[in-house]
Amino acid sequence: MLTPQTIEASIERLRVFLAIDGGDVQLVRVTESGIVEVRLLGSCAGCPMSSMTLRAGIERSLMIQHPEVRRVEQVK
């Protein structure tokens, strides 16, 4: 079952990689339809590569670990 706690645990493992470049990610919410909303923080917030980080890094990882995740969206 997809819960904020299970997604947060997965995001926690990703934080190490983002922190190398001074970034971070915050879970905002998980919808019933499988949309995960996150906020990029630190150097990730203004980075021109943030969309690549979001799709190829965070979204891909979460979708592999949690097949119920349909999409990851960045919110401000």
CB atoms within 10 A of CB 55: 13
- Return contacts of 11-16, CB within 8 angstroms, 24+ apart: 11/38, 11/58, 11/62, 14/57, 14/58, 14/61
What pLDDT is recorded for position 29? Answer: 97
How much is the average pLDDT of 8-23?
Answer: 95
Overall domain count for the chain: 1
Predicted model pTM: 0.93
What pLDDT is recorded for position 41? Answer: 97
CATH code, 47: 3.30.300.130
Encoding tokens for residue 56? 């190829």
Per residue in 50-76, pLDDT (tens digit) is 999 999 999 999 999 999 999 999 998
Range of the domain at 18: 4-74
What pLDDT is recorded for position 76? Answer: 86
The DSSP letter of residue 7 is H
